[in-house]
Structure 1
Amino acid sequence: MKKNKIRVGISLGDYNGIGPELILKTFSDSRMLEFCTPIVFASGRIFSYYSNMLKIGDLPINLINHADDAQKKKINIVSVWREETKIQPGQPTLESGKYAYLSLKHAVDNLANNKFDVLVTAPVNKKFIQSKNFDFKGHTEFLASYANEDNPLMMMVTENLKVALVTVHEPLKEVPKIISKDLIVKKIEALHHSLITDFLVKKPKIAVLGLNPHAGDGGLLGDEEDKIIRPAIQEVKEKDILAFGPYPADGLFGNARLLHEFDAVLAMYHDQGLTPFKALYFSEGVNFTANLPIVRTSPDHGPAYEITGKGIADITSFRNAVYLACDIFHNRKFYKELSANPLPKANIKE
């Protein structure tokens, strides 16, 4: 039986960044339109401007008013706004931030109404998107609030490495005040669940990082490992979750053999996890928001204003975000069907 094409909703991001280029170049490959049906929430004028600037012609663009009107094998653009906007490639503005929010809001509203299946978000500028309607530190927090989920999990994903975070967009000085045993337990449990349902790992093994250099070095360099992190690991082990650590971040990421023994790594804070991840996989990694009822991915980079309009943006991460969103959608469906119809236990007589 052939699978139905997944409908991929896409928010534009900051139109003065590389978002429009990523979308146009990704779906200018006709094979991508065979793979899924893109539905972009934006303005036709934005894509007309960038397709002319980047000299990308003969695209099967379908301008529509509603997501219901999307067609297969087309780049469907839902007209979120029709008024003219000032396009300034490479320059973030309050106006481009305003329309980045409008695109995102229309996309999530349509997703909530089952108008498409998965959401891929192009990069925004976290400062210029701020408004009375968007008082969040990023996509992760906005989507968690929209879904009324108090334990979202930010993950960076490639085939070879998955890194999740306990704290996300928090100032470093605040991290020791935020982490607690209960919070770490919740994040380990969310990561464990995601590995099973989203990635179909049967019995995940999770490496948990320490907070301090050398994972505290026996209390010499900090006591959070002994007071908070180890007790959290012990608690989840009692729930039959295979979590290990705490490991020093440099020791784990510097030891490829040890690192590859685990299905995922849980880092305590943003740069502890993302710096080594991006050093290894920057061009291909994907940002995935786990532990939400919806599937949302994005490329693992920002708007890249310094190269906007030059036609040199690497689409690999964005394209992988589309692939991963579709894979997770199928995996969740498969896991749900498998769980709903387990094989009956056989009564074996001795």
Structure 2
Amino acid sequence: MKPRIAVLLGDPAGIGPELIARLVARPENRARADLLIIGDKRELDRGMEIAQQRFDHTLVRDEADAARDTDIPSLIDFRLPDDAPYERGVSTERGGRYSLEAFRKALALTQANRTQAMLFAPVNKTSLHLAGMETGDEMEWFARQLDYAGAFCEFNVLDELWTSRVTSHMALKDVSARLTPERIVGAVRLIHDGLKRAGLAAPRIAVCGFNPHNGDNGAFGREEIDVIAPAVQRARSLGFDAQGPFPADTIFVRARDQKAFDGVVTMYHDQGQIAMKLMGFWRGVTVHGGLPVPIATPAHGTAFDIHGQGRADVGATQKAFDIAVRMAADRLR
């Protein structure tokens, strides 16, 4: 039996519907998984028009009506109660509300294993906050909706290289105080488990330092000596193939050119994000790691500036779909 993926169009003000149209129009994608699209039919039609790509689909009332093991996607025509037109190319409360309500529906299905994974096109954080999202980002919001109190982390993925981070959306001045052996070992554990769920049997994980030149033996800070190196040793004692700490300005070269590692644990947001986006902005994927359901999305944003122009690059959405399918298949085992 093929896995079933809940596919969301993202914020209608951006390039999401166009990206999903390009993705689903590829016959090989429809052959790999049963696709349940949850979104406004008019937005999907508009996405196909912009992308100049069309595919057949079946309208269904809910997931129970959707056929299994078929190459024809099912569509739940999901609309907001006010049913008004969406503004384009700007952040709006309605766009955020549409995204959040679609999330709720897809999360419920995926938590119940009626769909095995979620794939969503880009959403806009400003729109989500205008719509009432009280968390810093959608990953925290997902955890609350799922009533999940365990550890979770945003993974950024470029081709076969994954990254996780010990701290995320916070001021740089606050990062050092948040670096503890427990947090670092937790980040190693999360990325190890995420890579295994995506099909890698024995993940190799590099851990970044925090200071320039890895602190240069304490000349530029002692986090590497006092916190990070002991955390790496603890991770190894627990059976993880973790190495480091390595200077952040060279580890991504080794990971990319020498294929020396499958995952890199960074200490803060931009330490990994800048490297990954420079290496392949339109191929990058975000995986919401540690949550009890697989969720993937392109790492780029809604690209309001090119909405409606028919030139959105589907590369990252395709990569996100590839990961979602692998993780969904693992859930069926």
On whether the aligned pair clears a TM of 0.5, the verdict is yes
By how many angstroms is 1:73 displaced?
A: 2.5
Identity of aligned residues (%): 29
Q: Does 1:21 align with 2:24?
A: no
By how many angstroms is 1:324 displaced?
A: 1.1
1:219-298 equivalent positions in 2, closer than 5 A: 219-255=218-254, 260-298=259-297
| Structure 2 residue matching 1:214: 3-state secondary structure | helix
By how many angstroms is 1:294 displaced?
A: 1.4
**In 2: Cα distance, 1:307 partner to 1:240 partner:** 47
| Contact kept in structure 2, 1:164 and 1:265, CA below 8 Å | yes
**In 1: Cα distance, 2:174 partner to 2:268 partner:** 10
**In 2: Cα distance, 1:70 partner to 1:196 partner:** 30
Amino acid paired to 1:95: R
1:139-288 equivalent positions in 2, closer than 5 A: 139-147=138-146, 148-202=148-202, 204-255=203-254, 260-288=259-287
**More displaced stretch, 285-294 vs 46-55:** 46-55
1:45 to 42, 47, 50: 42
Over 3 Å counting, the alpha-carbon distance change for 1:237 and 1:281 in structure 2 is: same
Return 5+ residue gaps in structure 2 as ranges: none
By how many angstroms is 1:158 displaced?
A: 3.6
Q: Does 1:102 align with 2:101?
A: yes
| Structure 2 residue matching 1:221: 3-state secondary structure | coil
Corresponding residue of 1:91: 90
| Contact kept in structure 2, 1:17 and 1:92, CA below 8 Å | no
**In 1: Cα distance, 2:61 partner to 2:256 partner:** 52
**In 1: Cα distance, 2:255 partner to 2:235 partner:** 25
- Equivalenced residues, count: 329
**In 2: Cα distance, 1:122 partner to 1:76 partner:** 17
Question: Which deviations, in whole Å up to 9, do the C-alpha atoms of 1:165-217 show, x marking residues without a partner?
Answer: 11222232322232222111111122223333433323x32110011111111
The runs of at least 4 aligned residues of structure 1 exceeding 6 Å deviation read none
By how many angstroms is 1:140 displaced?
A: 2.0
**In 1: Cα distance, 2:291 partner to 2:76 partner:** 25
Q: Does 1:68 align with 2:64?
A: yes
**TM-score (normalised: structure 1):** 0.87
By how many angstroms is 1:55 displaced?
A: 4.1
**In 1: Cα distance, 2:92 partner to 2:159 partner:** 36
| Structure 2 residue matching 1:292: 3-state secondary structure | coil
**In 1: Cα distance, 2:179 partner to 2:95 partner:** 35
| Structure 2 residue matching 1:283: 3-state secondary structure | helix
| Structure 2 residue matching 1:200: 3-state secondary structure | coil
Question: Which deviations, in whole Å up to 9, do the C-alpha atoms of 1:236-281 show, x marking residues without a partner?
Answer: 2222322111111112123458852222110111111111112112
| Structure 2 residue matching 1:74: 3-state secondary structure | coil
| Contact kept in structure 2, 1:60 and 1:73, CA below 8 Å | no
Return 5+ residue gaps in structure 1 as ranges: 335-350
| Structure 2 residue matching 1:78: 3-state secondary structure | strand
Corresponding residue of 2:300: 301
**In 2: Cα distance, 1:141 partner to 1:48 partner:** 31
| Structure 2 residue matching 1:63: 3-state secondary structure | strand
Amino acid paired to 2:157: V
| Contact kept in structure 2, 1:41 and 1:104, CA below 8 Å | no
Root-mean-square deviation (CA, aligned residues, Å) is 2.2
Bigger radius of gyration, 1 or 2?
1
Over 3 Å counting, the alpha-carbon distance change for 1:62 and 1:209 in structure 2 is: same
Over 3 Å counting, the alpha-carbon distance change for 1:171 and 1:198 in structure 2 is: same
